[in-house]
Amino acid sequence: MRRRTFLLGAVATAGGVMIGYRSWSGSFERAARSQVEGPGEHLLAGWIKIGADDIVTVQVPHIDMGQGVHTALAMMAAEELDADWSKVRTERAPGEKTFANRFLARGWIMQNRAVPAFADGITDMVFTEAARFIDLQITGGSTAVRFTGRAGMRIVGAAARGMLVEAAARRWNVPGVRLAARDGVVTDPATGRSARFGELAEEAAQLSVPANPRLKEPREWRIVGTSPTRFDIPAKTDGSFAYGIDLALPGMVHAAIRVAPVHGERLLRVDTGPAEAMTGVERVLPLDHGVAVVAKSWWQANEAMLALEPEFSTEGQMVLSQADLEQRQDQALGSEGSSAHAQGDADAALETASAERIVEAVYRVPYLHHAAMEPINATAQFADGVLTLWAGEQDALGAKALLVELSGLGADNVIVRGLPAGGSFGRRIAPSADYLRRLVPIALAMSPRPVKLILSREEEFTHGAYRPALATRVRAALGENGLPTAWSQRFLAAPTRNEAFVLPYAIENQSLRSIDFATHVHTGTWRAVAHTQHAFWTESFVDELAHAADRDPFVYRRDMLPEGSRQRRVLETAAERASWGTPLPAGTGRGIALHECYGTWVAEVIEASLGEDGGPRVHRVVAAVDCGGLVHPDTALQQVEGGIIMGLSAALREKITLEDGRIVQTNFHDYDVFKLEDTPKIEVHFLESDAPWGGLGEPALPPVAPALANALFAATGRRIRRLPIADALAETA
């Protein structure tokens, strides 16, 4: 988001001068209606469609990849609309500029800061234009509820309610203030007259959208804060839920690809004859970095692909092995880098501290694969001059912009139809979605037939968009009371993912310097992005400082946090609920970690030991979470539990490694993910808070690795400074 955040700020700064208020509205509103309205349906406030049958359909500018966001956002809209929940539905908003996510744009820049009422209209206009300018329709950064919901769906729902009430008031020639809306009906208490939303929608759609509609107080909520059945669960339970891989179109053919084994290599030559001679094969297409086979079925395409022996050329300097990677990391950590955060004079404090009061360490994290359950797939068709994509993209407008670039077509001739995804965690978002670059030339070549591209597991594992492999070097000086007086850190960062570096603790002198680091390996966003490594680095090192000071790790952290603060409260709650300080069975230890990301504070306590085989065993995880507020408590619990399980999987065993410049891991047999039998007891405690709402899809993941590493140190006395933990333990055995 860093580049888009910059562009948002630039457009937001200039927008008020460049564009007159609501000068854009007419054409965009007409386009929006033409894109989503069906017979008897009317779009209100740009995002809520109401049919003559009273069905309310909320347009959601986010992908469903299992996080329950469609249900949560519909609840927020329906709450303010006063809709009958049994008649509420959702649709994925079209991947068009008319549905660019201005709520996300506004929320990301304003960070829940209030805008004076007189400026609200112009502010909304500016961020609308900004979102359209940068093609903003992203799912990521745990932004859906805290930005799209709070800054968007609540307001849109309230505005639509106001329009329906005003329509009834005009119909009955009475003051709107005396009317009430509830459960999809507008009533006049004075006369007993009533009208259903479906009866009023056509008239309401002709009215102006209220600029500042009244929002309900939390005490008035009847839908938000409850846990109705999620829209997606029944179909996922009975197997009828349709993912992208389930898509079937008339005349569709299937494509398999093989890309150069070393990332960045180009195709030199390939003898297409062996594949072309096989049953069902329709075409073999050389690509810049690989080769594609198109056949009547994907199985035929992939079998034919295995018959090919393409030759590739090496371009640029490669990192050949893990040892080579770590050597380059160490060299990079010796460079100056750029300041990410500075406070006081950390260098001077370290220079004047005695050697015995200095603690230092180097930590490393590996490349991580997304390992989603649904194989990566996308379907495209070029027919009648129009390129259409069907895919579970996290960034529909970004995908459309990429397709415009790759195809040379105009934006009006590219259509993106968003589908649900069976997991993603950052893989299906530009520029991570490199598979689209392979698909476009295939679709153009096979016109007018639609082509479904599916990556084999082997292709997907060896050509992912991995969480970067990075490292940090940290030094700290301890004062007479054992607390740190100085913290100096240099950390490697992916060039476009430099974030999550501010320490939560009160340390007088701080110096954090960021050093761009990249190799030939294709990297991208991964769940919680840079927070995953920064939480491991920071919370592991704080534990080392507590040990050096001979202090309890929980008390040590607490003493560096402001009394009454959110972070101190979640830390204390996690410790209390985990019975911190009480005896454990011999060989079992407790570890604690605290981290904030995307507006949510999470503290976790983990109990762990080593099994008879010497491998780590996790027995219990206790999490305290302050996200400000909950829309759907059951889904919130699921998101935290899911983040913890994914965090445990990554921390314990997951890794992508290199040999001769190639990715070693090729499938789940050598990329070891958490299984049901591994799952420990998980307890989650949500704290009530009046803080601005934070995200929930990612914040529970980052504290897992340090809490587990700290627990194993408490159990074994062996300090873990690299992930995955299973490898680190084997090295120190």
Q: For residue 20, name the pLDDT band (cuts at 50, 70, 90).
A: very low
* pLDDT at residue 657 greater than cutoff 50: yes
Structural domain contains residue 500? yes
Residue 560 has a CB neighbour count (10 Å cut-off) of 17
Note the pLDDT of residue 6: 41
φ, ψ (nearest 5 deg) of residue 637: -60, -45
% helix, strand, coil for the chain, step of 5: 35, 25, 40
The pLDDT-based confidence of 686 (bands split at 50, 70, 90) is: very high
Per-residue confidence at 64, pLDDT binned at 50, 70, 90? confident
Q: Of 316-320, 458-462, 557-561, 706-710, where does mean pLDDT reach its minimum?
A: 316-320
Answer whether residue 181 shows pLDDT above 80: yes
Tell me which residue has tokens 């950590």: 333
CATH number of the domain bearing residue 534: 3.30.365.10
pLDDT at 177: 95
pTM (two decimals): 0.93
Q: Dump pLDDT digits (tens) for 414-455.
A: 999 999 999 999 999 977 899 999 999 999 999 999 999 999
Same-domain check for residues 356 and 476: yes
DSSP string, 116-129: -HHHHHHHHHHHHH
> Is 459 within a domain?
no
Q: How confident is the model at residue 475 (pLDDT cuts 50, 70, 90)?
A: very high
Tell me the pairing of strands 41-44 and 48-51: antiparallel
pLDDT tens readout for residues 312-334: 997 766 788 999 999 999 999 99
For residues 634 and 571, membership in a common domain is answered with yes
Please give the single-letter amino acid code of residue 7.
L
Q: What is the pLDDT of residue 26?
A: 54
Using a pLDDT cut of 90, give the percent of the chain over it: 83
Q: Considering the domain boundaries, does residue 443 fall inside one? A: yes
Helix H or strand E encompassing 442: helix 435-445
The residue from 203, 233, 263 where one domain ends is: 233
Provide the pLDDT for residue 711.
98
CB-CB contact of 591 with 647 (8 Å) = no
In a shared domain, residues 524 and 667:
yes
Residue 621 predicted with pLDDT over 80: yes
pLDDT per position as a tens digit, 348-378? 999 999 999 999 999 999 999 999 999 999 9
Cβ-count burial 607-645 (b if 16+ within 10 Å, e if not): bbbbeeeeebbbebbbbbbbbbbbbbebbbbbbbbbbbb
Q: Which two tokens stand for residue 319?
A: 């990192």
What's the mean per-residue pLDDT of the chain? 91
Assess contact for 472 and 492: CB atoms under 8 A.
Answer: yes
Asked whether the predicted pLDDT for residue 336 surpasses 50, the reply is yes
CA distance 562 to 545: 19
Bond from prior residue into 706 cis (ω within 30 degrees of 0): no
State which amino acid sits at residue 182.
R
Q: Is the pLDDT of residue 291 over 80?
A: yes
> Can you tell me which residue has the tokens 């000068």?
23
Cα 272 from Cα 291, distance rounded (Å): 9
Number of domains in the chain: 3
306 and 338 both lie in a single domain: no
Q: Does 551 lie in the same domain as 432?
A: no
Q: What is the pLDDT of residue 109?
A: 58
pLDDT for residue 27 is more than 90: no
Contacts of 14 (CB under 8 A, 6+ apart): none
* Among candidate residues 147, 249, 523, 259, the one with its CA nearest the CA of residue 367: 523
pLDDT the model gives residue 130: 66
Average pLDDT score over residue span 192-202: 98
Give me the mean pLDDT over the 178-201 stretch.
97
Q: Is the CB of residue 416 less than 8 Å from the CB of residue 391? A: yes
Q: Which of 419, 406, 409, 412 is nearest to 452 (CA)?
A: 419
Shared-domain flag, residues 553 and 659: yes
- Other beta carbons within 10 angstroms of residue 266's beta carbon come to 13
Do 418 and 492 lie in a common domain?
A: no
Secondary structure of 320-340 as H, E, C letters? CEHHHHHHHHHHHHCCCCEEE
pLDDT, residue 14, reads 39
Q: Mean pLDDT throughout 224-242?
A: 95
Task: Output the pLDDT for position 127.
Answer: 59
Q: Which of 454, 474, 504 is the last residue of a domain?
A: 454
Q: Are residues 229 and 335 in the same domain?
A: no
AA identity, residue 40 = G
Q: Do the Cβ atoms of 109 and 4 come closer than 8 Å?
A: no
326 shares its domain with 309? no
Asked whether residue 238 is domain-assigned, the answer is no
Do 386 and 363 share a domain, yes or no? no
In this structure, are 332 and 396 located in the same domain?
Answer: no
Mean pLDDT of 518-528: 93
> Does residue 61 register a pLDDT over 90?
yes
- 560-602 residue pLDDT tens: 999 999 999 999 999 999 999 999 999 999 999 999 999 999 9
pLDDT digits (tens, 9 = 90+) for 74-124: 999 999 999 999 999 999 999 888 888 878 766 665 555 554 443 345 455
How high is the pLDDT of residue 30? 82
Residue 608 backbone dihedrals phi, psi, to 5 degrees: -150, 160
Asked if 390 and 530 sit in the same domain, the reply is no
- pLDDT above 50 (res 465): yes
1 by DSSP, 3-state: which? coil
Q: Is residue 239 part of a domain?
A: no
How many angstroms separate the CA atoms of 345 and 508, rounded?
8
* H or E stretch covering 363: strand 358-365
Q: Is residue 516 part of a domain?
A: yes
Confidence band of 128 (pLDDT split at 50, 70, 90): low
Last residue of a domain, one of 454, 487, 521: 454
Q: Which two tokens stand for residue 10?
A: 């630039």
Give CA–CA dist 137/714, Å, rounded: 45
Q: Which residues span the domain enclosing 543?
A: 322-367+466-732
Residue 403 dihedral angles phi and psi, to the nearest 5° = -65, -35
Ramachandran angles phi, psi of 156, nearest 5°: -60, -45
In a domain, 460, yes or no: no
